[in-house]
Amino acid sequence: MLEEVVKRSTCFPSNSKVLIFGGGFSGQHIAKAARELGAQVMCSRRTIQSEGADFVFDSTDSVVPSSCIFENVTHLISCIPPSKNGLDPVLNTFGEELKKIPLQWAGYLSTTGVYGDYKGEWVTENNSTNPKQARSIRRLSCEKAWEAMNIPLQILRLPGIYGPGRSSLEAVKRKNSKMVFKSDQVFSRIHIDDIAGSIMHLINLFSNNVRPKIINLSDNLPATNVEVMSYAANLLKIPLPPLESFENASKDMSPMAISFWEENRRISNHVLTNDLKYDLIHPTYKSGLEDCLKLSK
């Protein structure tokens, strides 16, 4: 819950202005938390009609806001994925402008896909990146472009994002929903409260000179699809969807959906929770889904 993020976080210094590129699912939640904590926040969306659109930016249509959005910006977060050509939409459009802003902190939301397949082993920030999927190769090249900016940056690597309105609760309720299983396959995940909460925590540490460059944001319990969907169905008090092997299910899956099942890794949050002492609001999918259910009522 947003209240919990706000309760646990430190307020922004006065005159803080946070610019968020890509105010989608995570971006909106981060924006709400930052506003509650005293910052002025500006969020981009691709259409002005979308919830929380303070300005419009769409790199594919060359819809670019006036450069006055950068005035007095102290913190910047990009939640926009790489474009199809592998360039970063924000840097490709505003790279030169960003170098001129006296930023106190910038965060780039990346993915744990950059690690590639670890055959179910635990993966820390010290493990090498070895992306195999085209989208993860593009992502790694965007990470490198952000690093090369020479701004006060942290790269946040995220596994599956879930939260109210976008979780396994919706998946199990879907018509013809199936619980796909594949031997030993687990997924890591992070609730949007902990994305917003850990970003607030990292910004505060950064201002106190604690500045790791790359941080995995994930919960404590990588789990199988069947475990998570069963828990969701039980919470909703509905029958478990039928089980289906990945081998069978993959016949009807999109190449994108299949690609998620081709890599297996357990994302370690040791740096975040142990070294940086972030206290997860939802340490596992169980409390995370309970929160999603509470907020859907």
| Residue keyed to tokens 């930052």 | 34
With respect to ligand NAP, which residue has the nearer C-beta, 160 or 240? 160
With respect to ligand NAP, which residue has the nearer C-beta, 55 or 278? 55
Nearest distance, CB of residue 237 and ligand NAP, angstroms: 26
With respect to ligand NAP, which residue has the nearer C-beta, 246 or 260? 260
With respect to ligand NAP, which residue has the nearer C-beta, 30 or 179? 30
Nearest distance, CB of residue 87 and ligand NAP, angstroms: 10
Burial class (CB in 10 A: 0-12, 13-18, 19+), 189: buried
With respect to ligand NAP, which residue has the nearer C-beta, 61 or 184? 61
Nearest distance, CB of residue 124 and ligand NAP, angstroms: 17
CB atoms within 10 A of CB 61: 9
Binding site for ligand NAP (CB under 6 A): 22-27, 45-47, 50, 57-60, 79-81, 83, 89, 109, 111, 158, 160-161
Q: What are the structure tokens assigned to 25, written together?
A: 């699912």
Nearest distance, CB of residue 283 and ligand NAP, angstroms: 18
Nearest distance, CB of residue 272 and ligand NAP, angstroms: 15
C-alpha 284: how far from chain center: 16
With respect to ligand NAP, which residue has the nearer C-beta, 203 or 267? 267
Nearest distance, CB of residue 199 and ligand NAP, angstroms: 12
Nearest distance, CB of residue 245 and ligand NAP, angstroms: 23
With respect to ligand NAP, which residue has the nearer C-beta, 18 or 161? 161
Residue by residue, DSSP assigns the chain as: -HHHHHHHSPPPPTT-EEEEE--SHHHHHHHHHHHHTT-EEEEEESSTTSTT-SEE-BTTTTB---GGGGTT--EEEE-PPPPTTS--HHHHHHHHHHHHS--SEEEEEEEGGGG---TT-EE-TTSPP---SHHHHHHHHHHHHHHTT-SSEEEEEE-EEEBTTBSHHHHHHSTT--EEE-TT--B-EEEHHHHHHHHHHHHHHHHTT---SEEE---S--B-HHHHHHHHHHHHT-PPPPEEEHHHHGGGS-HHHHHHHT---EE--HIIIIIS----SSSSHHHHHHHHHHHH-
**Which residue's CB atom is positioned nearest to ligand NAP?**
24
With respect to ligand NAP, which residue has the nearer C-beta, 63 or 226? 63
Nearest distance, CB of residue 196 and ligand NAP, angstroms: 11
